[in-house]
Amino acid sequence: MNIPPTTRRQLFAHCALAMALAMAVSVYLSWPALVRADRFHDNWRQAPQWLSPDKQHFQDDDLLLAYSQFNTSPFGNLLYKTLARTGHDLVWGKVMTVVVFTLGALTCFLAAHAMCGLPAGWVSVVLFLFLPSMHEHFVGGFMSAFSWPLLALAVLLIYRQRWWWSIPLVAFSAFTYPMVGLHIGAMYFLDTIFHDVINWRLNDKRVWRTKILPLTLAAASLLAVLGSKYFAEHDFGELVTRADMQDRIEFTNKGRYKILPTTALWKRFERQWENPFHFPMFVVAVLFLGRGAFRLPRGLYVLLFASILMYYLADYFVMQLYLPSRYIRRSLPLFACLVGAVWWARIYFDALRSTTADRPPRSRARRLLPLAVMTVVLTGLGVREFGDDLDPGDDTHVYNRHGIYQAIREQPGRPMIAAWPRLASELPIMTGRTVLISKEMAHPWWTDYWQEISERTQEYWRAYYTLDPAELKRIIDKYDIDYWVIEPRYYRREYVNRRKIHYQPLDSWLKRLPRPRGALLSRVPADLRLYEDEDHYLVASADILRWLETR
């Protein structure tokens, strides 16, 4: 296939146009969050350490804050802590959504352009932006959003055989989102197997000098970055093993973290290609290209096979390599996007080559007509299937309990706040204060951390429903709780009798806990409440203890 050459000036202009289009789409889809300060992605609740310095009033020994710092990639902490010094922490998360989404479109364009020219580049951009919309993977601007552009860069570099660039790419990927560093490492490994080991090229010294050496250095950089973070000493215990998960309800379909049994790979593929867009695209490619539809440019098959390999490895080692679904959640759409662009470009160039200038215009039009019909039909199918993904504001939430937020912010010092886990998830990011427990950060991956969090949660519920002043005082003293946020609805019979109150295994524990009427915290006098609305009231532990002494 003869691909018309592209000058640097043309490439730059097309890249700029593709980025502008992606930016416009992202701004449109992010608009509800961009115009509201209290609307953002809920995963921000896992990163309160990214708050602006003037908003941070956390205690120095805050366990949840330390875990959040540890649970976030080094690049994420470095980037957002730097940006937050401007005083606009959440705003930067929304800006990063647009920036990384734009980078995703750019890297997709560059990879497809390198393989099949400008037509492929633009088809990949269209597929990326609209068929389906990939914006949901970028909302919030978290480091997982870098998966798409980093994987696309890996495909580009493997296709171009730029092996020395693997060192900064792998190191930056591990520093940004460790799972992607492992994924890209698997891509380089498989490319070496397919193109060097099988073809007996390892006897060639040039291969060792130009490819094996840089890939070895890249692997060393990957281990160095991962080791400096995860193998260093920390206070969170050990990662859970598969045996641990099989014995713990929270890792099953009955619990919050539905990891085991792992979803079969074919079901993951089915979710990606069961819609009426991808399969017709494949059928059209086979009809037009025959066996040529399976002859894909270098880099695409290793993206697919590396995703499958890492899926099974992550399934076997579970949390040691993170969740299996993360290895295909973005790579499968990326593969489909690039393959679709390559197929379309090949069909286009084949049709164009057959419409020579000596043919009459009507004959040339007839040659291109099937391509035009195919494009219209596939576009219609894609818009019908994925049009709902183009609704602005998807995957963002409004956090508008401003009254209780402000009441907590007005309390002096660096207090410890005890609140129901759902509300407590919002408080660190909305108030900058330390909370006793949080549903958002109740992760069971690390043994010691989960033991502490589950114990805190049970102690919190004991205090919430107790009739015993001594037990309430013991828990206040144990955790140095300064303020309580009480939500009266959790004492009502219709809530107490709900089938699902929290999540397993804590849900079962809570249901077994005696919850008699008239719990102490539900009867705190109104004159002791520092703030009250129809859903919450805020009360100081010191006032509670004085009230208990006078009863």
Q: How confident is the model at residue 542 (pLDDT cuts 50, 70, 90)?
A: very high
Q: How confident is the model at residue 155 (pLDDT cuts 50, 70, 90)?
A: very high
- 373 vs 24, residue with greater confidence: 24
pLDDT score at 228: 86
Residues 414-420, mean pLDDT to the nearest whole number? 96
Q: What is the pLDDT of residues 276-314, one digit of tens each?
A: 677 888 888 888 888 889 999 999 999 999 999 999 999
Rounded to 5 degrees, φ, ψ at 529 are -85, 120
3-state secondary structure 224-283: HHHHHHHCCCCCCCCECCHHHHHCCHHHCCCCCCCCCCCCCHHHHHHHHHCCCCHHHHHH
pLDDT score at 274: 65
Strands 39-40 and 397-398 come out as antiparallel
Asked whether residue 543 carries a pLDDT value surpassing 90, the answer given is yes
Do residues 209 and 196 make contact, with C-beta atoms less than 8 angstroms apart? no
Asked whether residue 501 carries a pLDDT value surpassing 80, the answer given is no
Asked whether residue 496 carries a pLDDT value surpassing 60, the answer given is yes
In order, the DSSP letters of 466-509 are ---HHHHHHHHHHHT--EEEE-GGGGSHHHHT-S-SS-TTHHHH
Range of weakest confidence among 18-22, 138-142, 512-516: 512-516
pLDDT score at 254: 81
Residues 390-403, mean pLDDT to the nearest whole number? 89
Do residues 385 and 132 make contact, with C-beta atoms less than 8 angstroms apart? yes
Q: What is the pLDDT of residues 236-251, one digit of tens each?
A: 999 998 888 888 888 8
Dihedral angle computed from the Cα positions of residues 404, 409, 412 and 413, in that order, rounded to the nearest 10 degrees: 120
Q: What is the pLDDT of residues 73-105, one digit of tens each?
A: 999 999 999 999 999 999 999 999 999 999 999
As a whole number, the mean pLDDT across the chain is 89
How far is 158 from 46, CA to CA, in rounded Å?
Answer: 35
Residues 456-473, mean pLDDT to the nearest whole number? 94
In order, the DSSP letters of 281-328 are HHHHHHHHHGGGGG-PPTTHHHHHHHHHHHHHHHHHHGGGS--GGGGT
User: What DSSP state is assigned to residue 3?
Assistant: P
- Give me the residue spans of the domains in the chain: 8-390, 401-550
Residues 528-547, mean pLDDT to the nearest whole number? 95
Asked whether residue 179 carries a pLDDT value surpassing 90, the answer given is yes
How far is 530 from 400, CA to CA, in rounded Å?
Answer: 19
Strands 483-486 and 416-418 come out as parallel
Buried b vs exposed e over 361-395: b needs ≥16 C-beta within 10 Å?
eeebeebeeebeebbeebeebbeeebeebbeebbb
pLDDT score at 477: 96
Do residues 272 and 336 make contact, with C-beta atoms less than 8 angstroms apart? yes
CA distances from 64 to 401, 416, 486, 499 (A): 22, 12, 21, 29
How far is 446 from 467, CA to CA, in rounded Å?
Answer: 34
Rounded to 5 degrees, φ, ψ at 40 are -165, 175
Q: What is the pLDDT of residues 197-221, one digit of tens each?
A: 998 888 889 999 999 999 999 999 9
Q: What is the pLDDT of residues 347-368, one digit of tens each?
A: 887 776 665 555 555 555 566 6
Model confidence, pTM: 0.92
How far is 252 from 427, CA to CA, in rounded Å?
Answer: 29
Do residues 484 and 465 make contact, with C-beta atoms less than 8 angstroms apart? no
Radius of gyration from C-alpha coordinates of the chain: 27
- Residue 378: CB partners within 8 Å, gap ≥ 6? 131, 277, 280, 281, 284
